[in-house]
Structure 1
Amino acid sequence: MPPVSLPPLRLAASLLTLTAALAGCGGGDGSDAPATSAPRAESSTAQHTPMQVLVPAYFNPSPGWDDITRGAKAYPDVKITAILNPENGNFTQANSQFTDAINAFRAQGGRVVGYVATGYGSRSMGAVKANVDNYLRLYPGVSGFFLDEMAAKSDQLAFYREIYEYIKGKSADLQVVGNPGTFPDSAYAGITDALVTFEGLETDYRQINPQPQSTWVYDRPTTAQAMLVHNAPTCAVMQNTLKTADLPRTHTGLAYVTSLEYDPRTDVGNPWAALPSYWTQLLGSVDALNKNQPLPSC
């Protein structure tokens, strides 16, 4: 089959700001995220759940999805969710190779969510709903949706609430993952099951901190917050990134780190075009963190 076309990279506007801004604010739609809660320490009662892996699987079924499935089989205690993205999410018929890949992955305990672009609230609601319907009709193995290019300001809440209610109206069990790529207005936590609150460079993720503006994340389970980190060149750097996600301060339970690169200054690269070079070590590291065991050797 021809190569699957990859979507335009979803870039949080915070990638173009200073590292300090990345750490505490920055809206996914190019605006500053509002201060929605008073500064406070990490909540000692916040639910810390085992770390999971969220994979932007924006590539062909073979070999990429085959490798994901092998990883799920090798590490059955690590929950993996793969983001399905055939034809940039715009399709009118099923691809049998993706269907087979989804079935094989799910047989190993994997979960699949469908990629849906939202254009920061500018895409027509009819197109978004049709996209959702196509996944459910043609890829019934999906168990939720990944809403990419999610806005971060409160003025788009009604748009995303309608999408959330539409999906949950299909089935309350369908998971809704939103991707503003930064800490959004706290109200977005009420219309998603999980939020990607960081998408960007590994060097910027080192400084990530919900405080003081977004301490509302501590009132939710760790798996309600996700990060997608790229430009992490080595296995050791990947492991340090996962340890940062696992900190009580960071409070993040859905993680993905890749060695693939993207340069926000030049708009060159695609970090989601394949799995990272250390895919197996990433799964082993998540497994070890969850079990309080030494991390595997790189």
Structure 2
Amino acid sequence: MPHLTRTARGATDTGIRLGFGIPGFAHPLVAPLEWGELTRPGTPLKWVVLNVANGPGERPDPHCLEAAGRLRNGGVRVLGHLDARHGARPFGELVSDAHRYLDWYQVDGFSLDRCPTERAALPEVRRTVTTLRALVDHAHIVLGHGTHPYPGYAETGDQLVTFAGPWSDYRWSQVAEWTADYPPERFCHFVHGMPRGHLEEALRIARWQGASTIYFTDRVGTDRVEGAGAGDPWESMPGYWDEIVSRIGTGVSE
């Protein structure tokens, strides 16, 4: 099968400990149960993206502030959502949004949605990430490519989203060979439209492809890497949330 072709890690990948990266639920007023579930003790949660209004919004939102505060008080990283628009977003706008996330929500880092993948765009992404790291001590930066980018991006972000899309593509996906040079903690997979009956297969694919951060859902919608909005598959929890939590286990290794 295509997802079992990784040669540099082989069977040792079965020991990969998985955890969740949450791409961004709907607003806490729309999805209160989802945000509440994230604070349940023992949930293997690595980080949660806060997306107020495709960014930080125009003013502080008390509901988002409360939700983010509960997570941070529980030791969970909260990342501000920044839309890079595949490299079309001006540097100044991204930094301005980052400042508002930090001032209003005290975020622990940022998720750069729709991050470019090309080699030519790498210097500008590196410039942006360097600036973001200067704003937050020990900032956690996730580059939301949604596919395998030029390998140099792995030296820029803390984590790369190397798959974001439907189950129909994921089950036949192949991993880029260069990823074998990096530990599983560097890679994230987001899969939507995945039926409950394929959960074990999906977990096996993530481990064999060397991605330790995942989010699987049976919701369907557009293929945006992160964020919440109309038709967004990430805006609510999967129907099998309890089952996937129990399969992964309690706590995370980081």
TM-score > 0.5 by shorter chain:
yes
* 2:185 counterpart of 1:226: no
- 1:254 is matched with 213
Give RMSD over aligned pairs. Answer: 2.7
Within-5 A mapping of 1:88-127: 88-127=54-93
Q: Check whether the contact 2:109–2:136 (CA below 8 A) recurs between aligned residues.
A: no
- 1:31 is matched with none
Q: 1:43 to 1:241 in 2, by over 3 A?
A: closer
2:159 to 182, 194, 204: 194
* 2:49 counterpart of 1:87: no
Runs of 4+ in 1 over 6 A off after TM superposition: none
TM norm structure 1: 0.74
Query: One-letter code of the match for 1:233?
Result: P
- 2:227 is matched with none
Question: Matched residue of 1:146: which SS?
Answer: strand
* 2:5 counterpart of 1:42: no
- 1:128 is matched with 94
Query: One-letter code of the match for 1:161?
Result: R
- 1:278 is matched with 240
Mapped partners of 1:49, 1:243: distance in 2: 10
Mapped partners of 1:41, 1:93: distance in 2: 49
2:206 to 227, 242, 245: 245
Q: Check whether the contact 1:182–1:198 (CA below 8 A) recurs between aligned residues.
A: yes
Question: Matched residue of 1:91: which SS?
Answer: coil
The CA deviation at 1:91 is 1.5
Query: One-letter code of the match for 1:53?
Result: F
Q: 1:230 to 1:273 in 2, by over 3 A?
A: same
Query: One-letter code of the match for 1:54?
Result: G
Q: Check whether the contact 2:31–2:236 (CA below 8 A) recurs between aligned residues.
A: yes
- Structure 1, unaligned runs of 5 or more: 1-19, 24-38, 292-298
Query: One-letter code of the match for 2:45?
Result: K
Q: Check whether the contact 2:206–2:212 (CA below 8 A) recurs between aligned residues.
A: yes
Q: 1:123 to 1:287 in 2, by over 3 A?
A: same
- 1:33 is matched with none
* 2:19 counterpart of 1:57: no
Q: Check whether the contact 1:69–1:108 (CA below 8 A) recurs between aligned residues.
A: no
Q: 1:81 to 1:40 in 2, by over 3 A?
A: closer
The CA deviation at 1:71 is 4.4
- Deviations, residues 112-156 of structure 1 (Å, cap 9, x unaligned): 11110001111111101101111011111x111110111111010
Q: 1:261 to 1:109 in 2, by over 3 A?
A: same
* 2:119 counterpart of 1:154: yes
Greater C-alpha radius of gyration: 1
- Structure 2, unaligned runs of 5 or more: 224-229
Question: Matched residue of 2:141: which SS?
Answer: strand
TM norm structure 2: 0.86
Q: 1:101 to 1:90 in 2, by over 3 A?
A: closer
% identical aligned pairs:
24
Mapped partners of 2:72, 2:130: distance in 1: 26
- Deviations, residues 213-244 of structure 1 (Å, cap 9, x unaligned): x322122221210011000122x323321221
Question: Matched residue of 2:37: which SS?
Answer: helix
- 2:226 is matched with none
Question: Matched residue of 1:162: which SS?
Answer: helix
Mapped partners of 2:6, 2:49: distance in 1: 34
Q: Check whether the contact 1:115–1:147 (CA below 8 A) recurs between aligned residues.
A: yes
Query: One-letter code of the match for 2:129?
Result: Y
Question: Matched residue of 2:80: which SS?
Answer: strand
Question: Matched residue of 1:94: which SS?
Answer: coil
The CA deviation at 1:164 is 0.8
